[in-house]
Chain A
Amino acid sequence: MTLVKQLSVMVENRVGRLAEVTGTIGEAGANILGFSIAEGENFGIVRFMLDRTDDAYNALKANGHTVSCSDVIALPIEDNPGGLHRVAARCAQLGVNIVYAYAFRKSDGAVLVLKVDDSARSVRMLKADGFNPLDVEELV
């Protein structure tokens, strides 16, 4: 099964708090490949796709940040008009329920990060349908 680890950090809605998080990640020597922010009333959840997830996790914990690690699917998508639509439409047909998603570009194309309800089943369905979920080495 091809799932990748993503870090989610609880970040107080306060000027400078996000910079404290990204500073810690940088000092840990981890490179941010992609990220997204979900905003709430008094805090946001910032989700990071990283090359050195464990190092960043430990550094964030050590600096008193509230962080959790979860499994997501990273799908390569075509970096041209309709690229995202083709994946989204296919997921709908396959019955893969997307909880949230975000995308980022890397040197050789775009990546769609998906959080789905049932990761194992979704990966199986996507693979059977010809998709190639990426592992962390392929992301870097």
Chain B
Amino acid sequence: MECWNHKIETMGREDIERMQLSSLKELVSRLYDSSPHYHSRMREAGVLPGDIRSLQDIVRLPSMNKLDLRDNYPDKLFTAPPEDVIRYHVSSGTTGKPTVVGYTRNDIENWSESLARSFASFGLGRKDVIQVSNGYGLFSGGLGMHYGVEKLGAAVVPASTGGTKKQIDLIKDLNVTAIACTPSYLVHMIEVAEGMGLDFRNDTRMRAAILGAEPWSENMRRHIEDRMGIKAQNCYGASELSGPLFTECQEQDGIHIWGDLCLVEVVDPETGEHVGDGERGELVFTMLKREALPIIRYRIGDLSGITWEKCNCGRTHPRLQRLTGRVDDMIIIRGINVFPSQVEHVLGEIDEVTQQYMIVVESRGVMDNMAVQVELDPKAFTDDILALRGISSKVAKALQEVLNVKVDVQLMEPGSLPRFEGKSKRVIDKRVMM
């Protein structure tokens, strides 16, 4: 195993947690002293820096979310002196004001360190040529990856977005070995390359892709890996946390979250209490070393679970499981939390249907009824109504197993459901709420 930072990446859980506690104490003291906002939040919560004696005490600290950043636009939450801020990234919210994230030199350094470790964890190194096809600019995805690649010592091709044919030419001509972009862009690139008569497997040196910034399925991973002959690595991050930060290692069995830089909690989205080890819930991030914009107990809205089980790669840091959705998308059916992403995942595993679907929730008497309308795969269409009914039952059974809720499945003509550009609205809730 080639580690970027062997000592840190393989230290025992106790040692990691000791580092986390000492960083947390330091962070909280600093915030209490230098952030008027956080000072008053702590006073309201009745907690003083001295109250943080163990990692468990973190639950006493107030949490924050996107609204805190938005309400304190542009830089009211910053704690570094303005002259120490060396970069800004700005994410445009779909509603309201944008969010501004500032970085000190150390913030950029830790961000790049996190990515360099991640890149090395699936075998990238100084000899690689990495094309960054994330957008450069206010969006943190392009420059973040760029600095990570430079930190690694590999060569970076700052392609940014667009000009797909030119990007493909560059991959070939500059012997590019890995690419960072969104999964959907890479799928598009595969199609364009095929149109150009180029086969990534034989005509290029590509061996890896770092993919994130949007949800994607295992099916999509298989598609990309087969068509390109590469390893497609899932990447996690968010602009509030810096940008893209963590990826899977070569085992592709969860995303290593570097514990010395970031402390992640998993809480029940309703109660805010910690869930058991390995259970799923809402992710809460504390960036232990951030200077310009402190992020402490940040409820990011993503749902997943983490495991501390030692990875087969030998790294000891906790691993983030696949995301199962967003807290905002959650629907509650008969007291059970259901996420559209779970539905999408199940549909992705069944050949006879597509991933074009709608969820319709209605009150039926006193009970909620959930229907999933899903477009049939045209290849599965048959004149035999019983066979079609068999497909609906198969989908219903698979959904019920995963969701623990009875689901009516309605097959739909391919192409008949609404298509969404950008954020999709796949849930129609017709229930009358009291």
Task: Enumerate chain A interface residues (CB-CB to B < 8 A).
Answer: 6, 8, 10-12, 14, 17, 38, 40-43, 45, 47, 64, 66-68, 70, 99, 115
Contact = CB atoms under 8 A, between A and B. Distances in A.
Contact of A43 (B382, B384, B411): B411
B410 interface: yes
B415 A67 contact: no
Contact of A66 (B381, B384, B385): B381
A36 to B, nearest CB: 11
B413 interface: yes
Contact of A10 (B373, B376, B384, B410): B376
B383 A42 contact: no
B382 A68 contact: yes
A40 B385 contact: yes
B412 A43 contact: yes
A42 B381 contact: no
B414 interface: yes
Contacts of A68: 381-383
B383 A47 contact: yes
Contacts of A40: 385, 388, 411
B378 interface: yes
Interface size class of B (residues with CB under 8 A): 10 to 19
A42 B414 contact: no
B56 interface: no
Contacts of A10: 376, 381, 413-414
B416 A12 contact: yes
B356 to A, nearest CB: 13
A115 B385 CA distance: 12
A115 B386 CA distance: 13
B378 to A, nearest CB: 5
A67 B412 contact: no
Interface string B350-381: 00000000000000000000000100101001
B299 to A, nearest CB: 38
B415 A64 contact: yes
A115 B383 contact: yes
B383 A12 contact: no
A70 to B, nearest CB: 5
Nearest to B377: A66
20 contacts: A8-B381, A8-B383, A10-B376, A11-B413, A12-B412, A14-B416, A17-B413, A38-B385, A41-B410, A42-B411, A42-B412, A42-B416, A43-B411, A43-B413, A43-B416, A45-B383, A64-B414, A66-B378, A67-B381, A70-B383
A40 B412 CA distance: 10
A99 B376 CA distance: 22
Which 7 pairs of residues, A with B, have the shortest CB-CB distance? Answer: A8-B383, A12-B413, A12-B416, A70-B383, A66-B378, A66-B381, A10-B413
Contacts of B414: 10, 64, 66
A14 B381 CA distance: 19
B383 A66 contact: no
A17 B415 CA distance: 12
A72 to B, nearest CB: 9
Interface string B412-426: 111110000000000
Contacts of A70: 382-383
B64 to A, nearest CB: 44
Contacts of A99: 384
A47 B412 CA distance: 17
B120 to A, nearest CB: 47
Contacts of B410: 41-42
A66 B382 CA distance: 9
Contacts of B416: 12, 14, 42-43
A25 to B, nearest CB: 16
Given A38-B385, A43-B416, 12 more contacts: A8-B382, A10-B376, A11-B413, A17-B413, A42-B411, A42-B412, A42-B416, A64-B414, A66-B376, A66-B413, A66-B414, A70-B382
Interface in B390-434: 410-416
Contacts of B411: 40, 42-43
B348 to A, nearest CB: 20
Contacts of A14: 416
A17 B378 CA distance: 17
Most chain A C-beta atoms within 10 Å of own C-beta, residue among B381, B410, B414: B381
Nearest to B410: A42
Interface in B305-346: none
A81 B319 CA distance: 76
Nearest to B382: A68
Contacts of A115: 383
Nearest to B378: A66
A64 B378 CA distance: 9
B363 to A, nearest CB: 19
A99 B382 CA distance: 14
A99 B373 CA distance: 27
